[in-house]
Amino acid sequence: MALKLGKVTAVYPGSFDPITYGHLDLITRGAILFDKLVVAVLRNAAKEPLFTVEEREAMLREVVKDCLNVEVDSFDGLLVDYAARKGATVLLRGIRAISDYEYELQMALMNRRLRPEIETVFLMAGEAYSFLSSRLVKEVIALGGDISGLVPPVVEARLRQRVLGK
Kindly state the percentage of the chain with pLDDT values over 90. Answer: 83
User: Rounded distance, CA 142 to CA 165, Å?
Assistant: 11
Q: What is the dotted CATH code of the domain comprising 9-164?
A: 3.40.50.620
Tens of pLDDT, residues 84-128: 999 999 999 999 888 789 999 999 999 999 999 999 999 998 889
- Per-range mean pLDDT, top range of 2-16, 41-55, 57-71: 57-71
Q: Which residues contact 152 (CB under 8 A, 6 or more apart)?
A: 19, 21, 24, 59, 62, 63
For the chain, give the mean pLDDT: 93
CB-based contact 15:47 (threshold 8 Å): yes
47 catalytically annotated: yes
56 catalytically annotated: no
Q: What is the pLDDT of residue 159?
A: 95
Q: Which of 43, 86, 96, 112 is catalytic?
A: 96
Q: Which of 15, 134, 138, 158 is catalytic?
A: 134
The residue among 38, 47, 49, 46 whose CA lies nearest residue 13 is 38
Domain ranges of the chain: 9-164
**Average confidence (pLDDT) over 119-143:** 93
CB-based contact 53:164 (threshold 8 Å): no
4 catalytically annotated: no
The residue among 28, 25, 14 whose CA lies nearest residue 69 is 28
Q: Which of 15, 23, 36, 93 is catalytic?
A: 23
Q: Which of 47, 99, 113, 166 is catalytic?
A: 47
